[in-house]
Chains A and B, each alone.
Chain A
Amino acid sequence: MVEMLTPLLVLLCPLIAAPLIFLLGKWPNIREGVAIIASIATFSLVLSMIRPVLDGDVIRCTFSQTLLPGLGIGLKVDAFGMLFALTSSSLWILVTFYSIGYMRSLKEHAQTRFYFSFALAIFGALGIAMSSNLLTLFIFYEILTVSTYALVVHDQTAEALSAGHKYFAYLLTSGCFFLFGLVMVYYLTGTTDFTNGGIAALAALNPAHKWTLIILFVCFLFGFLKAAWMPFHSWLPAAMVAPTPVSALLHAVAVVKAGVFGIVRIVCFIYGVDLMTSLGLGLLLACIAGFTMIVSNLFAIGQDNLKRRLAYSTINQLSYILLGAALLTEPGIRGAMMHIPFHGYMKITLFMCAGAIMVATGKKNISEMGGIGKTMPITMLAFTIGALGMCGIPPVVGFISKWYLCMGTYVAYETISPVMIIFLFVLLIASLLDVVYFFPILHTAFFKEPEGAVAEPKVKESTSLVVIPLAITAIFSVIFFLAFILRPVEMLAPYVDMLSMYIYDLVDVAIGNVIPS
């Protein structure tokens, strides 16, 4: 346990940047300079906390006065929170550059509002990653919801507004459930802190108040609708009317991951694995996740709009994480935790590619993208890497988390209940369906002739500000995989660990917190 102010400083970076961006709106270069500086500062501060966390310390930033013990605002960084904070802050830098290229190329309106809300949303996401109890998590969760609204309705068209209303209707209603859950946990146990292995006082209620605990868990599931589990997912595809950087960072990483992050927090740090197992709640969550994985993939196949197809793919991948947590076994939770950064990197690549195509050609629908692989080779190469990762094909990192998830189902089959083997097949079928809807895109892009074929296809990428970030995330998706392979080599280990931002070590530490050996 270490007391440090760093978590607070991390939060202050975007929080201070937001009003600065608002006030400097008249000078776009300075405004975006502020955004870049803030993102880099945030990331470096997050990085500075890796060492103590890897040593098994938990960094705390508590404020002396609280309303009551167990009820107050507090920050802490443990290995699991670190994973989410690392993912969002590192991607924020890339997406900032990407949005500068994207917004300027498309000459979007209200850019100041865009950067302002974006900084606030990141503030919310980082706060979620670093909150030490449910109350703090809830505060940042709602900040994230409200600040993202302005980004969803950015276009100000009727479609954007109705998407925004849907967004609010789902997410703020879900906030009510969350609030109820949080108050209830406090009422029942007198604390809302995230505790390794779950809150003991909650587990003590088990045989006597079994149904209270089950209903409470369902409330929490409704509270984390940001995880977009089916059938309460429809806000996510609707939110795709937002500018692509928003879809990329918020609706593939920060917002939706906040949802699954919260559920994993509840499963592992509020209820605890043992209580979840004895209540049989793992099976409930696994069923929801399995249902979502299959059905969302079927939906995805039918979409022609690229961003919408990616949105359904996000819904599917989020449920991988939920399933991993629901398996309540060591490899399953490991896979779930790994999938948070890995899916972030892969999916953001895909979204940024979709945006790049839109910037360069103005095309949104897959059917119009014939031959685009020839005109935009770098973008489509990155897209291919992302798509392979989604399907779980090596050498992209998606394979590793899926591997652990499959292991998780098998361990669950052996230790929990034979029924769990069903989820192995669900996983495999879902992966197969991933292939079914991603490969046609690749086929269209590389092997189809463009409509009304022009004489000689010329290479026409979008601006380098757009292309370079997506290339970087694609490269990292491969690097993470290579790092996993090369870690056992003693000579290389320190370098690959550093390059992969110590994700594997962090997961090890986090697993140690969840399942004390």
Chain B
Amino acid sequence: MTWFLAEHYPVLVIVISMFAAFTILIAGWLNKKVAFPISLATIFIQLLMAFSMLKRVLAEGPIHYKLGGWAPPWGIEYVIDTFNAYVLIVILLLSFICAIYSKRSVEKELPLKIVPFYSVFQLLITGLCGIVVTGDIFNLYVFLEISALASYALIAVAGGRALKASYNYVIMGSMGACFYLLGAGFLYAVTGTLNMADLSALLPPLYGNRAVQAAFVFFAVGMGIKMALFPLHVWQPDAYTYAPSAVSAIIAATMSKVSVYALIRVIFSVFTIKFLQSYGGVEIALCWIAAIGIIAGSVLAIQQTKLKRMLAYSSIAQIGYIVLGIGLAPISAWGLVGAIAHILNHAIMKGCLFLAAGAFIYKLNLWDIKDFEGLGKKMPFASAAFTLAAIAMIGVPPCTGFATKLFLLFASLEATATMPISGYAFVVILMISTLLNLAYFWRIVDRIYFVNSGNGHHHDTKKADVPLSMVVPMLLLAVLCIVVGILWLTGVFAPMMDQMLCELGVGGMPQW
């Protein structure tokens, strides 16, 4: 079966999204009720396209789409391989679920700004998809800026303290983007091309070149800021905390993942794994930064009193997991398996947690963890979703968090062959992080269900759960937390992962 216009999907997935953004603005002028359906329908179509592309890529190998028929290196090339398609699906799936959720939440939080909200929301998705499909490092920068500007606006739209948060994010985010641009510029100066495939072919003889090495560091730091890797995370807690609920979820679940995608793409498709291996030490440094981030993020999360802020710090720790996986990749392919798996896993879990946090705010205006007593009775579905996601974050099997942990443990153990101390240290850190996760998530679950100090307003146990259009997305994500976890363990994804690893140049699925 051939799909309608199937060969143009790589560009269509961006174009229709961008047109939808403008359409929403114009149509919303006439009737602001159409903004939501247009946005939802667009994302749904994009999602279908992404699935169709994944299917095609799995069957036929990477898709190379030359924009306007201009052959690279002069024209811009869009490349869809398994990894792209996978990340695209993660982004669009989460966007779709968050979009359903956003309807009622935006109506309540931003009643006067519905049309601009969806317009910018659609621009954000355009940017995110663009980053993923492009095969050109400068084009990637363009989309990076589109998504960043959209997200500055989406955070600031809440007003009040969100303005300051957004301002911090603008400054830090722009610096990150600048670093990225510098990296791209250095590579262009040395090689004269911006196409990723070209670069990876031209770079090997230039690995010793200082400009190339500097470019690598610029890329790593730039993306580190964008994905809020400890200690470059300072903009992130405020931004996540004060953004509107639906925006927190979408940014936490997808934006940081796209930055991770960009980092993986640059490291493995532009510099290739040989670059890392020829500079022994780079990957270990990356691992240790990540490991410190895991612990620091968790410890900071324990100290927080506001739920959304705590979730933000938890994201910092979780990004650490992903970067740890990337750092271990040159030593053990399991590392990259863990990192790639965690892109999906963390998106699901953190999406669900932020949606639940948003639900608590939506209905009862609860921000502080200490006010959560008796929520289990008042909002049974939101609480259940939160609890399931929290259990998944802790890494109780067979949930998603456990799958990641298992892969990273394998990677760390394989690393012990070359660097015993660091390898075992990472094993210990992963274990400690499990317990820290337990510490900061379980106190909330405890409060929701079990703590009964007998004071305050919570004796009113009337059920007050959020509307169905907000409950369903949360429960869907919560169920996915378990289902996807089981799927990782059963190996349904193994063929896809195998192809991804081959394309990223670390060999196929690791064998024992």
Say which one of B34-42, B343-351, B443-451 lies at the interface with A. Answer: B443-451
Q: Which listed residue, B409, B410, B491, touches A72 by the CB 8 Å rule? A: B491
List residues of chain A with CB within 8 A of the CB of B449: 113, 150
List residues of chain A with CB within 8 A of the CB of B488: 67
List residues of chain A with CB within 8 A of the CB of B406: 179, 183
List residues of chain A with CB within 8 A of the CB of B147: none
Q: Is there a chain B Cβ closer than 8 Å to A492's Cβ?
A: no
List residues of chain B with CB within 8 A of the CB of A73: 398, 486, 489-490
Chain B count of residues within 8 A CB distance of the other chain: 33
Task: Report whether A138 and B397 are in contact in the complex, using a CB–CB cutoff of 8 Å.
Answer: yes
Tell me the chain B residues, 451-507 only, with Cβ under 8 Å from chain A. 451-452, 486, 488-492, 494
A492 CB → nearest B CB, Å = 46
Task: Report whether B489 and A173 are in contact in the complex, using a CB–CB cutoff of 8 Å.
Answer: no
Q: Is there a chain B Cβ closer than 8 Å to A146's Cβ?
A: yes
A sample of 9 inter-chain contacts (CB < 8 A) reads A65-B490, A67-B490, A72-B490, A139-B397, A142-B397, A150-B449, A153-B446, A176-B434, A190-B512
Q: In the complex where A139-B397, A183-B409 touch, is A63 in contact with B435 (Cβ < 8 A)?
A: no
Chain A count of residues within 8 A CB distance of the other chain: 36
Q: Is there a chain A Cβ closer than 8 Å to B238's Cβ?
A: no
Task: Report whether A143 and B397 are in contact in the complex, using a CB–CB cutoff of 8 Å.
Answer: yes
Complex Cα–Cα for A153 and B448 (A):
13
Complex Cα–Cα for A160 and B452 (A):
11
List residues of chain A with CB within 8 A of the CB of B405: 179
Q: Is there a chain B Cβ closer than 8 Å to A156's Cβ?
A: yes
Q: Which listed residue, B402, B450, B509, touches A153 by the CB 8 Å rule? A: B450
Q: Is there a chain B Cβ closer than 8 Å to A484's Cβ?
A: no
Interface residues of chain A, those whose CB is within 8 Å of chain B, are 63, 65-73, 113, 135, 138-139, 142-143, 145-146, 150, 153, 156-157, 160-161, 164, 168, 172-173, 176, 179-180, 183-184, 186-187, 190
Task: Report whether A68 and B511 are in contact in the complex, using a CB–CB cutoff of 8 Å.
Answer: yes
Tell me the chain B residues, 383-441 only, with Cβ under 8 Å from chain A. 391, 394, 396-398, 402, 405-406, 409-410, 413-414, 427, 431, 434-435, 438
**Nearest B residue (CB) for A63:** B490
Task: Report whether B451 and A172 are in contact in the complex, using a CB–CB cutoff of 8 Å.
Answer: no
B379 CB → nearest A CB, Å = 15
Complex Cα–Cα for A138 and B450 (A):
26
Q: Which listed residue, B391, B398, B431, B442, touches A139 by the CB 8 Å rule? A: B398
Task: Report whether B491 and A68 are in contact in the complex, using a CB–CB cutoff of 8 Å.
Answer: yes
Complex Cα–Cα for A150 and B431 (A):
23
Q: Which listed residue, A67, A142, A145, A187, touches B489 by the CB 8 Å rule? A: A67
Task: Report whether B413 and A67 are in contact in the complex, using a CB–CB cutoff of 8 Å.
Answer: no
Complex Cα–Cα for A145 and B398 (A):
13
Complex Cα–Cα for A143 and B388 (A):
12
List residues of chain A with CB within 8 A of the CB of B398: 73, 139
Q: Which listed residue, B409, B438, B489, B492, touches A179 by the CB 8 Å rule? A: B409
Q: Which listed residue, B410, B435, B511, touches A187 by the CB 8 Å rule? A: B410
Task: Report whether A68 and B427 are in contact in the complex, using a CB–CB cutoff of 8 Å.
Answer: no
Complex Cα–Cα for A113 and B427 (A):
36
Q: In the complex where A138-B397, A150-B449 touch, is A172 in contact with B409 (Cβ < 8 A)?
A: no
Complex Cα–Cα for A30 and B466 (A):
28
B279 CB → nearest A CB, Å = 27
List residues of chain B with CB within 8 A of the CB of A65: 490-492, 494
- Known pairs A168-B442, A173-B435 / 13 extra A-B pairs, C-beta < 8 Å: A66-B490, A67-B488, A67-B490, A67-B491, A113-B449, A139-B398, A143-B397, A164-B450, A168-B438, A172-B438, A176-B435, A180-B431, A183-B413
Q: In the complex where A183-B410, A187-B414 touch, is A172 in contact with B450 (Cβ < 8 A)?
A: no
Complex Cα–Cα for A68 and B406 (A):
13
List residues of chain B with CB within 8 A of the CB of A153: 446, 450
List residues of chain A with CB within 8 A of the CB of B451: 156, 161
Tell me the chain B residues, 307-341 only, with Cβ under 8 Å from chain A. none
